[in-house]
Structure 1
Amino acid sequence: MTGFAKLLHADGPNPEHAEALQLYGRFIGDWDAEITAHGPDGTKHIAPGEIHFGWVLEGRAVQDVWIIPRTAGAPAFPLAGNWYGTTLRVYDPAIEAWRVSWFDPGRSVFRQQIGRPRGQDVVQEGTTESGDLTRWSFTEITDGSFHWLGELKPAAATDWRLVVDVRAKRCET
Structure 2
Amino acid sequence: MTSLIVFPCMAQPNPKAPSETIQYAFMIGTWDCVIKSRLPDGSTKQGTAVWKAHFILDGWAIQDEWVSHDESGKPAFFGINIRSFNPVLKKWECRWLPAGTLQWKHFLSWKDGETMVMEGEGEDQRGAFVDRNTFFDIESDSWSWRKDRSYDGGKTWHRAIATIEAKRGKP
TM-score (normalizing by structure 1) = 0.82
User: 1:163 Cα deviation (Å)?
Assistant: 2.3
2:146 pairs with 1:149: yes
2:128 pairs with 1:131: yes
Instruction: Give structure 1 stretches of 5+ with no counterpart.
Output: 74-81
Give the greater-gyration-radius structure (CA): 2
2:168 to 151, 167, 170: 170
1:20 maps to which residue? 20
1:119 maps to which residue? 113
How large is the Cα RMSD of the aligned pairs? 2.5
Instruction: Give structure 2 stretches of 5+ with no counterpart.
Output: none
Between 97-106 and 122-131, the greater mean CA deviation after superposition: 122-131
User: 1:104 Cα deviation (Å)?
Assistant: 0.4
2:61–2:84 CA contact under 8 A, matched in 1: yes
CA distance in 2, matches of 1:145, 1:137: 14
Count of residue pairs brought into register by the alignment: 162
1:65–1:87 CA contact under 8 A, matched in 2: yes
User: 1:143 Cα deviation (Å)?
Assistant: 0.6
2:61–2:83 CA contact under 8 A, matched in 1: yes
CA distance in 2, matches of 1:115, 1:138: 11
CA distance in 2, matches of 1:156, 1:90: 25
Aligned residues with identical type, % of pairs: 23
CA distance in 1, matches of 2:62, 2:48: 23
TM-score (normalizing by structure 2) = 0.83
1:83–1:107 CA contact under 8 A, matched in 2: no
In the alignment, residue 146 of structure 2 is paired with which amino acid? L
1:78 maps to which residue? none
CA distance in 1, matches of 2:94, 2:78: 17
2:74 to 59, 68, 72: 72
CA distance in 2, matches of 1:108, 1:27: 24
CA distance in 2, matches of 1:148, 1:120: 13
- Equivalent position SS for 1:24: helix
CA distance in 1, matches of 2:69, 2:42: 21
The alpha-carbon distance between structure 1 residues 124 and 157, as it changes in their structure 2 partners (threshold 3 A), is: closer
Going by fraction, where is strand more abundant, 1 or 2? 2
